[in-house]
Structures are given as structure tokens and as C-alpha cells.
Amino acid sequence: MNTEPISRDKKQGGPALTPPDAGQNVPSRGRPSFIFPVVVILFVLLGLAGFFLFSQTEKEASPVQQQAGTVDYTLEEKEVPEPKVPFDAKARALSMQLRERWLQLHAEAEADSIRDWGGEKFAGIREKATEAEQLMAAQQYEKAGTVLQQAISALESLRASRPVLLADALSRGVQSLADGDSPAAVAAFTRALALDPENVQATHGLARAKTLDQVIELYKKARAAEKQADLKTAEELFARINTLDPEFQPAVQALSRVRIQLQDREFNAAMARFLQALAEKKEKVARNALARAVKLRPQSPLVADGKRQLRQLVTEQTLERLQRNYGQAVMSEQWQQAMDFCVQALKVDPQAAFALVGREKAGRRLALDKALRNIIRHPLRLQEEAVLTEVRQILAAARAVIEPGPELSRQIAAVDTLLVRAARQVEVVLQSDNATEVVMYRIGRLGRFSRRTLRLRPGRYTIVGSRPGFRDVRREFEVRSDGKQQFLQIRCTEVI
């Protein structure tokens, strides 16, 4: 008895199934003879159903299958060889459906650039697909379906793990940057961009990774310069690193550290200049140096102490200047200026000794100076006895001054001369008409006369003449101190 193999119908694209025992005609023992024809008919019907299902599946192959057929590692439409073993039509139909699902998923994965990020996992899934193809070619449809289902599940799982893979790639990239491993960082961020081409972190990380080797080289040079105390060079190199990669933390921390050291150095230099200028009493230099120190370390206790010392220096220098000015004013006998300088000094330091003493002295001398100047300016007041008494007292106070100075000496001499002149009497001849009644203020009533001679001290006098029926006459005159005789007429001549 010969067994017919399963063959593919070329026109309809489906296998014409013949049961393996269709040619046997040996009835079973103890069974009725009609059973055999029934069994034969059932096998024929089953074969026709499988043939019809296979034909419809091949006719309705999807465009996804046709497109995927262009990829070298996908399932391609191949001529299925003549079946060598019987197969299950249901298993074959299921495997064909799974094959269509695989091709669709594969096309979608290709659109997501899975080749760039799938790696070995995707390669293993492709191997599964190839194995399924081989099984289908051998008409082992049940096994092929199982393998295809595994490939489909694996591919779906791989695509679903994309966010996790992205996070892992970004994490590895960040760690590689921290470790200074630029190739690993480039690879990790490149993979991240394959997973998400628009990812900002990956783009930024890749840019950092590409400059990492240059950054590390500059960092080594900068550290060497720092160890050699060449802080300026170190700062410049760390700053260049910061420009290339602002997130390279070793350089960020080093730049901060170096700048602090440079600031310390500059602060100490500024304070040294300040103290030197303070010792030399160079206020402007000291002020500029302290201003620099304040800018560098405004909260430093040394700055606070420096401000106190600078104020003290300014106070000392101000008092010294005012004391010098006071001394010059005293020498030139400018007592008002001397008083002003003392007042200014006491505003700076209420306990300034020279100002306390000088204010008293300047006050006395200023009052004396003003009194003497007033006497000299108004000598005619000396005709009054009370004024004369006062002037003599003032003159005595002036003569009591030790080391009077040129100006006071001149004033004493001038007042002395005025007193001498004031004591000298000058002859004044009054002429009248013997009818006019004459009165002289501060002298008294002179009566009527035609001529009268008086001896008067220098000064200003007023004389009045009156006569019944005539308008009064009033004369003011000055008795000069030059000693020359003076004449004055006094008579009423205007009739009322």
C-alpha cells in the first residue's frame, strides 16, 4: 500500500490533502463493512476544507506582508515545497494569521527605527522569525505558530520597554560623563537619541560627551597650575572648562575654590597696603586700599577694625590740621579765625585739649581786639568821662597780655595816643551879639556875650542860641586834637 504525499495546487495556492491511509481496504475486525466508506468521505471533506482555507489565506495576503518581504530578515513569500508529512489545517491557518501579525508589527517597529536601538534583543527576535519560517516551510505549522507567538510577544515587549531603555541609556550616559568615559557616554546618549530623537537631555549629554576629552585634558593642566600656586593660570583654565561644559562639576568646584584663594590673596594684599599707608598717615592711599578690601570681604572683622582705624586717622589728621590753622591764626592775631578753628576741632573731638584751651584764649583776645578797634574807630567818644574810664581799663587789659604781638602792640599805642589827645584841651573862641542866649550841651549855660573863650577836650559838641522874637540857632562842631585854636560864631538873626 502506497501513501500519497501532501501537494500544493499551483492554481489555487492550497494543498490537496489525501489521508495517509486512504489506499488501504482492510476492514477492521468486528466492525460493520459500511464504516470504511464513511471514514473515507470524512477524510476527503477535511482535505477540501483545508485546501479552501489555504487558498483564501494566500489570496488575501496583506500589503504589510508584501512590504515586509523586501527586508532581508523577514518572512518572505516562498514556494512551499511539496508536503512530506500530513499537517493540521487549523494549525496552518493559525500560523498564517500569526505570520501576518508578525509582519505588521515588524513594519511598525522598522518605522520606529528599531534597528538603531533594538540591539541583540531585536536580533534574537529576528532569529525566532527565521526559525518560524523554516518550520512553516517544513509544514510544522503548530511549532511555527508557537515560535511566531514568541517572536510577536518578544517584539511587543521590546517596544513597550522603550521608555525604560531610554531611561537606562540616559542614566548610563550621565554616569559615564561622571566617570570621564567619553566613548561610553557618546554610545549611551547616541542610543538614547535613537530611542527618542527629540530628547533634550540626550542631545545635551551627547554634546557634553563630545567635549569631555578636551575638558579632562584642560582640567589636568588647571589642577597642575593650582598645585604650583599659579592661581591666575588655574583660574583661566577652569574658566575655559566652564565655558566648554558648565556642568563639569570638578571644574565648577575648582573654579570656585581658586577664586576664593585669589580673593584671599588680593584681600590680604589690600589690607597690607592699608596698614602701611595707615602707618605713614597717608589717608588717601589707606582709604583706597580699605575700599578694595571692603569690596572683597565686606563682613570681615579686619575690615571693621580697618574702618575704625581709618576714622581714627582722619580724626587725628583733622585735629592736627585745625591745630596748625589755629596756631597760624594766633600768630597773625586773627582771633575770629582762631575761634572758628577751635569750634571745628571740638565738633570732631569734644575733648581736644588744644581746642578747649584755645577757645578760651581766642575768646578773650577776640573781645579785646574788638574793643580796641572800636576805640580807635571812634576817638571822639573819649570826650566823655565814663568812656575814658572804660578805655583806660581796656588799655590796662591789653598791656597785661604776655607776648602781645604786632597788632595788639599797634592797637595799644594807638589808644594810648588817643588818650593823650583826649586829655589835651584846645582853645575855642565863641563870638555872639550880646543878645543871644547861648547854651552848650555837656558844658552848660554860657549866657549872653559878644566874645568868650573856652578850653575844651577834643570831641564833638553842640551849641544852641536863642533870642526872643528870633528863630533859634543850632550849631554842631568838632574840637580837633591838633591843638590849634578854633573860632565859632553863634547869634540869632532871623526875625520870626
Question: How much is the pLDDT for 86?
Answer: 52
pLDDT-above-70 percentage for the chain: 82
Count other C-beta atoms under 10 Å from residue 440's C-beta: 20
> Is the predicted pLDDT of residue 47 greater than 50, yes or no?
no
pLDDT digits (tens, 9 = 90+) for 340-359: 999 999 999 999 999 999 99
> Is the predicted pLDDT of residue 412 greater than 90, yes or no?
yes
Question: How much is the pLDDT for 58?
Answer: 41
| Average pLDDT of span 49-62 | 41
Question: How much is the pLDDT for 113?
Answer: 80
Considering only residues 81 and 318, tell me which one the structure prediction assigns the higher pLDDT: 318
| Average pLDDT of span 205-209 | 94
- What is the CA angle 21-25-29, rounded to 5? 100
Question: How much is the pLDDT for 87?
Answer: 58
Question: How much is the pLDDT for 231?
Answer: 94
> Is the predicted pLDDT of residue 70 greater than 90, yes or no?
no
> Is the predicted pLDDT of residue 148 greater than 70, yes or no?
yes
pLDDT digits (tens, 9 = 90+) for 109-135: 888 888 878 888 888 998 999 999 999
pLDDT digits (tens, 9 = 90+) for 435-491: 999 999 888 999 999 999 998 888 888 999 999 999 999 999 888 877 688 899 999
Question: How much is the pLDDT for 112?
Answer: 80
Considering only residues 51 and 307, tell me which one the structure prediction assigns the higher pLDDT: 307
| Average pLDDT of span 266-295 | 94
Contacts of 152 (CB under 8 A, 6+ apart): 98, 101, 102, 105
User: What are the DSSP E strand ranges found in 80-176?
Assistant: none
Question: How much is the pLDDT for 40?
Answer: 37
> Is the predicted pLDDT of residue 29 greater than 80, yes or no?
no
Question: How much is the pLDDT for 78?
Answer: 47
| CA neighbor of 428 nearest in space, from 436, 415, 440 | 440
Coil, helix or strand at residue 478: strand
Average pLDDT score over the chain:
82
> Is the predicted pLDDT of residue 80 greater than 50, yes or no?
no
| Average pLDDT of span 29-44 | 39
289 grid coordinates? 586700599
Question: How much is the pLDDT for 484?
Answer: 81
Q: What is the pTM (predicted TM-score) of this model?
A: 0.48
DSSP string, 334-402: -HHHHHHHHHHHHHH-TT-HHHHHHHHHHHHHHHHHHHHHHHHH-GGGGGSHHHHHHHHHHHHHHHT-S
Amino acid at 44: V
Question: How much is the pLDDT for 240?
Answer: 95
Question: How much is the pLDDT for 216?
Answer: 94
| Average pLDDT of span 72-81 | 45
Q: Are 366 and 335 in contact (CB under 8 A)?
A: yes
For the chain, list the domains and their CATH numbers.
7-160 (no CATH), 168-277 (1.25.40), 424-496 (2.60.40.10)
pLDDT digits (tens, 9 = 90+) for 350-390: 999 999 999 999 999 999 999 999 999 988 788 777 888 89
